Structures are given as C-alpha cells and as structure tokens.
Amino acid sequence: MRKLASGNEACADAAIMAGIRFFGGYPITPSTEIAEIMAGRLPHIGGKFIQMEDEIASIMSIIGASAAGLPAMTATSGPGFSLMQEGLGYAAMVEVPIVIVNVMRGGPATGLPTKGAQADFQQAKWGTHGDHPVVALAPNGVEETFNLTVRAVEISQRLRVPVVLLLDEFIGHMREIISQPEKIEVFRRQRTRVPSVDYLHYDDDNNYNAPYAAFGEGYSIHLTGLVHRKDGFPINDHPTIVWNANRLLKKIEDNLAYLEDNYEEDEKDADTLIVAFGSAGRSAYEAKLLWNKPLAYIRLRTVWPFPDATIRRLARGRKRVIVPEMNQGQLCREVQRCLTGDTELLTINKVDGTMITPQEVLEVLG
C-alpha cells in the first residue's frame, strides 16, 4: 500500500501493526502526533492509551503495562527524555521490554521546541546511570521510520531491553509517499511452559530469545531495581553482583550481529569516508551523488550499540573521514575512537535548528 505520511504518523502506524497495545505518554512538541494517533486508534483494537501527568509517570506506566504482558511504548522529545532516564535504567535492570520514541529537538532545556537536532545521540546511551543495555535506532526518512519502529518493537520483545527510536523533528514532520505493507510478521513474546514452582524470571536460560512470564499468568515474579538473584529477590553478595551485571551485558554482546544495521557503500578507490545518521545522513548521501569522485559512505540505522568494527574496516586506509551531525560533536567522538594512523577527521556541525544541506557537505569535500 502506498500512502502519504509523516514520520510521526508512520511511527504510530508501525507500532500498532507490530503489536503495541499500550501507550502511556505526555504531549510534547514535536512528538505529540504519535500520542494523538495512538489515543484515537488503540481503544478500537483492544489496546489502552493513558495520558500521564508527566514523562516520569509515562515511562513507569509502560514498564508496568509491559510487565503485565502488553507490548508498550511512549513518545517524547528532549526534555521529556531527560525525565525518563531513571525509568529507562529501571527497565534495563528488571528486563522489561519497552520502546521509547524520542523525536529530537534543539536544546538544552526548552531550547528550540519546533526545530530539529541530533543532540540526544549520547544521551540515548549514557543518559541514565550505571552499565546498562540500551539499543537505539535512527531512521533517515518516513518509510524507514515505519520499518525501524517495527524492528524496535521486535528487538525489545526478543531481548527484554529498552529500545530507543531516535527521530528528529525534520523526520517526524516531513511527509513522503511510502510503501507500507498491509500486514507484517509480528514477533510476540513466547509464554513459558515451565511449571510455576520451578520458574525463575532471571534464569540463565531465560535471558533473550526465550519464553518468559508476565504478571497475571500464575507465576511468582519479583521486579526490583536492586541487584537480584535469579528469582528476582535482592541480594548483596559478590558473585550475584557480577552475574547480574554480566547478564545484562550479554544481551548486547551476544547479539551484535543481530543488532548491527547500517547502510554502506564501500568504494575501494575512495580516499574519503562519510559517517552519518538520521536526516544528516540524507544530506550526506545527496552530496555523495552530486560529487564527481569516489566516496565511501555509511549511515547508521542502529546507532547503539555502536558499530566499532565496521567503522574501523571502512576507515582503514582512508585519508579522511567526514562526520556531519546536527549537534556540536557527538557521533564524531565515537568515530574518532575507531581511527588509526594519519586519517584526518573532519566534522560538520549545525545547531541552529536547520538541516545540514548537501551543499554544506560538498563544501567540506572540496
């Protein structure tokens, strides 16, 4: 099916088709259309929408809904995403799958409510405290917003982790004709068949890609933000602390091949590599098409976990790497770690709420 849609509309459509049946949120520019669509449609398909009193309550409500077995999502922007950080860390610790859509705008504080930015890139990974598994995806347009929303729901359910979808205002509000499927294959949580007396919510065999129980299904489940045993109850001994931390890490480390998702064009004769994500990646690719020389290119669709090995491979032997991003330099810090030898790193940074243009990329290309 072909239709004209905005990024926010595509996100809401995809979430419903992917099985989201609970949305708890609080309106905030430029993500409010997602909440409005979910409010109108979820009650008609057996789902629930609740407007909470703030973003703290919003993320806690979707954690509760997910723990009770309903695939759950919220949507926000920078200030609201800041308020959600404690809940995001709690979701990671208790291993409850949720999706948080962050339609990025300029900041800090109230910043530029109606303008776009990419300044929450590092916050998506490091906003909350402690070592924690978080996956973050970043589309570059409306159709990819649909596809990555579906993928975000699947990853969250499969790995029992929070997944952040990083749009920006430009993508949230741009309208494009997209090809949207009538039906998609939905990944659904498998219900455990282990007898309730033997069930351990955090058993070693019950980490990812495994059946697990929800509240109300007859199993004893204890959720706590404290370090806990396999049955969920808090404990403070050294082996359990190490086991608990490594268990969370394994969700990412064991699934890097499944999680990594990039669009790349590796031109062997190119002495320049462009690394970008989101709407900045759109402009960078247009510049690549306009430039009359070989140019290697990678656009990250999964921005966390960061594809270190892929960037090292693509950057090896290049004279320079160019990173365009709509912030004061966040992606470039990750890219810098992957560079060796005499490879020069050039950045294009824009913080005035407007998109980086292909012409600005061409100026740096020379």
pLDDT tens-digit profile of 203-239? 999 999 999 999 999 999 999 999 999 999 999 999 9
Question: Partners of 136 in the beta sheet?
Answer: 164, 304
Q: What is the per-residue pLDDT for 212?
A: 95
Residue 340 lies inside a defined structural domain of this protein: yes
Asked if residue 268 and residue 173 are part of one domain, the reply reads: no
Residue 57 lies inside a defined structural domain of this protein: yes
Residue 204 lies inside a defined structural domain of this protein: no
Tell me the pairing of strands 272-277 and 320-325: parallel
User: What's the whole-number mean pLDDT along residues 121-139?
Assistant: 94
Q: What is the per-residue pLDDT for 133?
A: 83
Residues 346 and 284: their CA atoms lie apart, in Å, by 13
Query: Could you report the per-residue pLDDT of 42-64, keeping only the tens digit for each?
Result: 999 999 999 999 999 999 999 99
Asked if residues 59 and 87 have their Cβ atoms less than 8 Å apart, the reply is yes
Q: What is the per-residue pLDDT for 132?
A: 87
Give the other-Cβ count within 10 Å of 150's Cβ.
21
Q: What is the per-residue pLDDT for 241?
A: 96
Asked if residue 269 and residue 170 are part of one domain, the reply reads: no
- Residue indicated by tokens 């759109």: 282
Residue 231 lies inside a defined structural domain of this protein: no
Residue 88 lies inside a defined structural domain of this protein: yes
Asked if residue 173 and residue 29 are part of one domain, the reply reads: yes
Asked if residue 171 and residue 311 are part of one domain, the reply reads: no
Asked if residue 156 and residue 13 are part of one domain, the reply reads: yes
Residues 63 and 349: their CA atoms lie apart, in Å, by 36
Asked if residue 154 and residue 32 are part of one domain, the reply reads: yes
Reported as type and span, the H/E element at residue 115 is: strand 112-116
Helix (H, G, I), strand (E, B) or coil at 145: helix
Q: What is the per-residue pLDDT for 151?
A: 98
Supply the mean pLDDT for the chain.
Answer: 96
Peptide bond into 239 cis (omega under 30): no
The domain in which residue 32 lies consists of: 2-179
Reported as type and span, the H/E element at residue 116 is: strand 112-116
Which of 161, 179, 197 is a domain's end point? 179
Q: What is the per-residue pLDDT for 236?
A: 92
Give me the CATH number covering residue 306: 3.40.50.920
Cβ neighbours of residue 341 under 8 Å, at least 6 residues apart?
none
Longest dimension (CA), the chain: 68
Give the other-Cβ count within 10 Å of 54's Cβ.
11
Residue 206 lies inside a defined structural domain of this protein: no
User: What's the whole-number mean pLDDT along residues 154-173?
Assistant: 97
Query: Could you report the per-residue pLDDT of 299-341, keeping only the tens digit for each?
Result: 999 999 999 999 999 999 999 999 999 999 999 999 999 999 8
User: What's the whole-number mean pLDDT along residues 154-175?
Assistant: 97
Query: Could you report the per-residue pLDDT of 337-360, keeping only the tens digit for each?
Result: 999 989 999 999 999 999 999 999
Distances (CA, A) of 288 to 20, 276, 297, 329, 332: 37, 12, 8, 21, 19
Asked if residue 291 and residue 170 are part of one domain, the reply reads: no
Record the tokens describing residue 297, joined without a space: 């290119």
Asked if residues 166 and 7 have their Cβ atoms less than 8 Å apart, the reply is no
Which of 162, 179, 196 is a domain's end point? 179
261 — phi, psi (to 5°)? -150, 105
Q: What is the per-residue pLDDT for 282?
A: 97
- Residue indicated by tokens 């669509």: 37
Q: What is the per-residue pLDDT for 341?
A: 86
Record the tokens describing residue 299, joined without a space: 């656009």
Residue 319 lies inside a defined structural domain of this protein: yes
Which of 144, 179, 214 is a domain's end point? 179
Residues 326 and 345: their CA atoms lie apart, in Å, by 16
The number of folded domains in the chain is 2
User: What's the whole-number mean pLDDT along residues 277-295?
Assistant: 97
Asked if residue 273 and residue 161 are part of one domain, the reply reads: no
Residue % of the chain over a pLDDT of 90: 95
Give me the CATH number covering residue 118: 3.40.50.970
Q: What is the per-residue pLDDT for 59?
A: 98
Asked if residue 272 and residue 173 are part of one domain, the reply reads: no
Residue 212 lies inside a defined structural domain of this protein: no
DSSP 354: S
Record the tokens describing residue 32, joined without a space: 């409010």
